[in-house]
């Protein structure tokens, strides 16, 4: 079961997406966790988290972004220009960070040079940087406008009943992921961090109900796994978006196991549930702005630090890896402050700057990891 999800996490146009398309379904890509999957699901569309997996070069990305820029959106633009996103019927991009904001205009411009690479439905979604009353109201209006454009383009009707059902479906997934986390918190961990990350990634790349049923079976199997003495060092991964299962595998090769994370594909997406009893639009707006631990949100550093520190203590980690993609202003800046504060709290940290994409820096990363493992041993 896990192998199927690992395959889905390792590629873009996976077998679940292909089956969805063959059955006449539409797929809409989105760039950031601040774009609610529930709305796309309620429209009968398949939400698909945009990623840069599979890139072997960034010639197109460099020509529009330039070399001194985060490599994640460059890899995504590279794939768009190569036609790797041809299975998409739509795309929604947002200002998750400034580089992602630029991806929207670069993709639009690149489509002039690479015809046919821009989906028929292509929208920009603006997300506030604060979680206060007026910004939540603005965000709710943005969600309402998104619904209107989706209904018009795909000729669907997104009803309140459909939204409530979608919220319930995604909440069920969040509950399952919390159960998976509880298993990872055990002294004898029944699943590797790389397999857990594959499950998280696959959840944003296939039909949610099918993924939920598979995860339920996986959890049931893990709960029956016999306890085995585990002497591996327990680590937590913090920082930039990471959808590279091999990167987690590289960390675990040196005698460690990743038992927790706060990366963009990880616990940020399921730490809390959406209110199922409230009006759907205000409930989604409040949830997505108030429950984020992304450093793009202004004034929330102390909350993010507390979340990371509490999670590190609860999962009894031996150390924290504070990683960021090179030129990531948000995580690159905040990781320095986190290192200072977590070390002061007695939690060993290692800061690691890396490129997104193929692990071309394997030797350097392994050397850094070996030194950290020696330190915490």
Q: Where are the domains of the chain?
A: 15-159
Residue 155 has pLDDT above 80, yes or no: yes
Backbone angles phi, psi at 26, to 5 degrees: -105, 145
In the predicted model, is pLDDT for residue 262 greater than 60?
A: yes
pLDDT at residue 304 greater than cutoff 70: yes
pLDDT at residue 266 in the model = 78
- Six-digit token pair at 157? 């009707």
Domain 15-159 = CATH 3.40.50.11890: yes
- Say how far apart CA 361 and CA 354 lie, in whole Å: 8
Q: What is the DSSP letter of 52?
A: -
DSSP, collapsed to helix, strand or coil, labels residue 236 as: strand
Confidence tier at 228 by pLDDT (50, 70, 90): low
Residue 91, Cα to own-chain centre: how many angstroms?
Answer: 16
Q: Is 314 helix (H, G, I), strand (E, B) or coil?
A: helix
pLDDT-based confidence at residue 377 (cuts at 50, 70, 90): confident
Residue 159 C-alpha from the chain's centroid: 27
Task: Tell me: pLDDT of 359 over 60.
Answer: no
Does residue 66 have a pLDDT over 90?
A: no
Kindly state the percentage of the chain with pLDDT values over 90: 85
The yes-or-no verdict on residue 227 having pLDDT over 80 is no
C-alpha 263/C-alpha 354 separation (Å) is 14
Task: Calculate what percentage of the chain has a pLDDT beyond 70.
Answer: 98
Contact 146, 17 (CB under 8 A): no
The CA distance from 323 to 163, in Å, is 36
Average pLDDT of 351-360? 80
Would you say residue 229 has pLDDT above 70? Answer: no
Q: What predicted TM-score, i.e. pTM, was given to this entire model?
A: 0.95
DSSP H stretches of helix in the chain: 2-9, 15-22, 37-42, 59-65, 71-82, 98-113, 133-154, 160-184, 193-202, 208-223, 245-253, 280-290, 301-314, 329-344, 362-376
Would you state the pLDDT for residue 164? 98
Confidence of residue 17 (pLDDT cuts 50, 70, 90): very high
The pLDDT assigned to 78 comes to 95
75 pLDDT band, cuts 50/70/90, is very high
pLDDT at 111 over 60: yes
Give the model's pLDDT for residue 128: 96
Contacts of 74 by beta carbon, 8 Å cutoff, 6+ apart: 52, 58, 61, 62, 65
Q: Please state, rounded to an integer, the average pLDDT across all residues of the chain.
A: 94
What confidence tier does 213 reach under pLDDT thresholds 50, 70, 90? very high
């Amino acid at each position: 079961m896990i192998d199927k999800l690992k395959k889905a996490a390792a590629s873009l146009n996976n077998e679940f997406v292909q089956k969805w398309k063959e059955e006449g379904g539409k797929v809409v890509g989105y760039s950031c966790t601040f774009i609610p999957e529930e709305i796309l699901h309620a429209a009968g569309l398949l939400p698909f988290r945009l990623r840069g997996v599979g890139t072997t070069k960034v010639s197109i990305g460099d020509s529009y972004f330039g070399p001194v820029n985060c490599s994640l959106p460059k890899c995504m633009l590279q794939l768009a220009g190569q036609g790797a996103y041809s299975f998409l019927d739509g795309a929604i991009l947002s200002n998750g960070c400034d580089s992602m904001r630029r991806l929207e205009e670069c993709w639009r411009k690149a489509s002039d040079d690479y015809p046919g690479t821009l989906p028929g439905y292509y929208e920009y979604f603006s997300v506030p940087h604060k979680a206060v009353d007026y910004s939540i109201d603005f965000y709710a209006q943005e969600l309402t406008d998104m619904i209107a454009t989706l209904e018009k383009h795909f000729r669907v009707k997104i009803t309140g009943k459909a939204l409530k059902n979608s919220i319930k479906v995604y909440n069920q997934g969040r509950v399952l992921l919390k159960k998976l986390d509880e298993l990872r918190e055990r002294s004898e961990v029944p699943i590797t961090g790389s397999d857990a990350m594959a499950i998280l990634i696959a959840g944003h790349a296939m039909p949610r109900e099918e993924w939920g049923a598979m995860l339920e079976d996986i959890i049931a199997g893990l709960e029956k796994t016999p306890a085995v003495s585990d002497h591996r060092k327990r680590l937590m991964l913090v920082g930039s978006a990471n959808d590279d299962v091999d990167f987690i595998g590289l960390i675990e090769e040196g005698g460690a196991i990743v038992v927790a994370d706060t990366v963009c594909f990880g616990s940020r997406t399921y730490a809390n549930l959406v209110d199922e009893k409230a009006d759907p639009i205000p409930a989604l707006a409040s949830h997505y702005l108030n429950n984020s631990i992304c450093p793009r949100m202004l004034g929330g550093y102390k909350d993010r630090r507390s979340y990371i520190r509490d999670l590190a203590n609860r999962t009894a980690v031996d150390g924290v890896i504070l990683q960021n993609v090179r030129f990531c202003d948000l995580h690159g800046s905040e990781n320095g402050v986190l290192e200072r504060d977590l070390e002061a709290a007695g939690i060993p940290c290692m800061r690691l700057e890396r490129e997104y994409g193929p692990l071309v820096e394997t030797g350097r990363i392994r050397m850094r990891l070996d030194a950290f493992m020696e330190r915490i041993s």
